[in-house]
Structure 1
Amino acid sequence: MQGNISVLKHSDPATTTTIDVCRQLHDFDFLFLDGKTFLDVIDQSHFSSQDIADFQASWDDLKPDTYMADGGKYRLRRHATLTGAPQGGPVHLEKHQPHYQTTHYNHLNGGIERHFEPVLPATHDNPVMKAILDFASNTFGSLSPFSTWHIEMHQFRIEAVQTGGKPTPEGVHRDGVDYVLMVLVKRHNIEGGQTSILDRDGRTLAEFTLADPFDAALVNDERVAHGVTPILPVDPEDRGLRDVLVITFRHK
């Protein structure tokens, strides 16, 4: 991690709240939360260890991304679209629809509608997912209180291959939204996967690795770009993977 800004760790006072998160994100345009702090902030009293296990296990049922213009076979995913009410209001699942980005934001895979398998109902209804969505709605809704939100939820699994599985095959980028939340679900038998945050002039603001379950990063996508380095297997005889939940919020 470069510097000591935009970091909320479990060693901070136990009173870390959504307000603290909002203040850091407002001041610095990005924020890293270690897993223990993130679980505290989303209030893990609302779910059980079995809920966490079920949430993580849902990544074992993702489907291949068949739209990879680089020909890569290393990415699996599911996708959902939601609507969020202003001021941190409730989030509602919408009818399943394709994912679309312009080539301005995704020069590799943008410019077409991409139809992915939907997030399964049991995953969307899992108390852990509900808590994460509530946290995101409260955080981003506090920063932009008059916005109604177009929300997209992406479950990603990047498999480590000898040529490098790419968490962000388009490179350092912006997503063309307002805010992004990235939550690590699982890492296994991999090296790499370092996240970089850059300002609009291309200067690196921070570099860190989502290493433990529920390590999380939030970014103001209008003001900073992000990218993640490729992952490689540590033991070539064992499967390597990086499971991440990405949720984007865009003003309607």
Structure 2
Amino acid sequence: MSQAPVPPVPATSVEAIERALAVDGHVFVEAPAMRRLLEAAGPLSDWAAFTASWDDMPVDAFMADGGRYRRRRYAVFAADAVGIERQPHQPHYQGLEYNRLNGGVARWFEPVADAIAQGPSLQAALRCCHALFGKLAPQARRWHVELHQFRIEAIPGESGKPTPEGKHRDGVDYVLVLLIRRINIASGTTTIHSPDDRDLGSFTLTHPFDATLIDDHRVFHGVTPVQPIDPAKPAYRDVLVVTFRAIAD
């Protein structure tokens, strides 16, 4: 009889995070360690405003399943040895091989507000990713960086699906998923899978700053649907997703 996958041991230092990502292709980082990692890249002095920016996001109008449970904003940056610079607003595109539900369409989402995009918290997250992923791929000189603010709402009678496309890859090199808030929801468990569909582990982002980092070439990931604990109250899961894709010279 096959055994259930063993939950990953959270990494607690920069060295352990780098090693786990390099060896296993994924790593779960608990909030205290992730916060230290972010603060090493810059101050989080606007964290309250950063968190509050999830409260006014429009509904994702490109859900092929007809769901109204996802809200999002989007931004694109370029990163190189000089720094990280926001790019003109543009559509998000994934091929059907990466997103069988919503792929194959140029999806125009509302942009991340300038004050948030240039604020210290988001800039710290971008610098943190740039430094970490740059160490793992030193040959990459330039990166195409996409940033997504997601809110998944758990509505009575309709489960919220953080990954409605199911287990998937994003079609990039590296991914950060950072929990911002988790309000009145059950489930929302992250699952990690090998390309041949073996379960490699599972964990739940529970506290603000809990995070997972993923080598998108090596593993698939998904998140189970969320349900409201108290159906009479608002229920949602807010995350920041940052993807890095190396640009060939």
Question: TM-score of the superposition, structure 1-length normalised?
Answer: 0.92
Q: 1:66 to 1:151 in 2, by over 3 A?
A: same
- The equivalent of 2:123 in structure 1 is 130
Q: Is residue 235 of structure 1 aligned with residue 222 of structure 2?
A: no
CA distance in 2, matches of 1:81, 1:47: 22
Q: Please list the CA deviations of residues 78-120 of structure 1 after superposition, one character each: whole Å capped at 9, or x if unmatched.
A: 000111115xx52111000000000010010000100000010
The residue matched to 1:249 in structure 2 has which SS? strand
Question: Post-superposition shift, 1:45?
Answer: 8.9
Question: Post-superposition shift, 1:56?
Answer: 0.4
CA distance in 2, matches of 1:172, 1:239: 27
Unaligned runs of 5+ in 1: 10-15
- The equivalent of 1:145 in structure 2 is 138
- The equivalent of 2:84 in structure 1 is 91
Q: Is residue 76 of structure 1 aligned with residue 71 of structure 2?
A: yes
Unaligned runs of 5+ in 2: none
Match of 1:156 among 140, 147, 150: 150
CA distance in 2, matches of 1:166, 1:200: 22
CA contact (8 A) 1:187 1:243 kept: yes
The residue matched to 2:76 in structure 1 has which SS? strand
- The equivalent of 1:8 in structure 2 is 11
- The equivalent of 1:12 in structure 2 is none
CA distance in 1, matches of 2:40, 2:227: 32
Match of 1:193 among 184, 188, 192: 188
Q: Cα RMSD over matched residues?
A: 1.6
CA distance in 1, matches of 2:192, 2:20: 15
CA contact (8 A) 2:41 2:127 kept: no
- The equivalent of 2:99 in structure 1 is 106
CA contact (8 A) 2:75 2:148 kept: yes
- The equivalent of 1:171 in structure 2 is 166
Aligned length: 242
Provide the identity percentage.
Answer: 45
The residue matched to 1:42 in structure 2 has which SS? helix
Q: Is residue 115 of structure 1 aligned with residue 103 of structure 2?
A: no
Question: TM-score of the superposition, structure 2-length normalised?
Answer: 0.93
The residue matched to 2:46 in structure 1 has which SS? helix
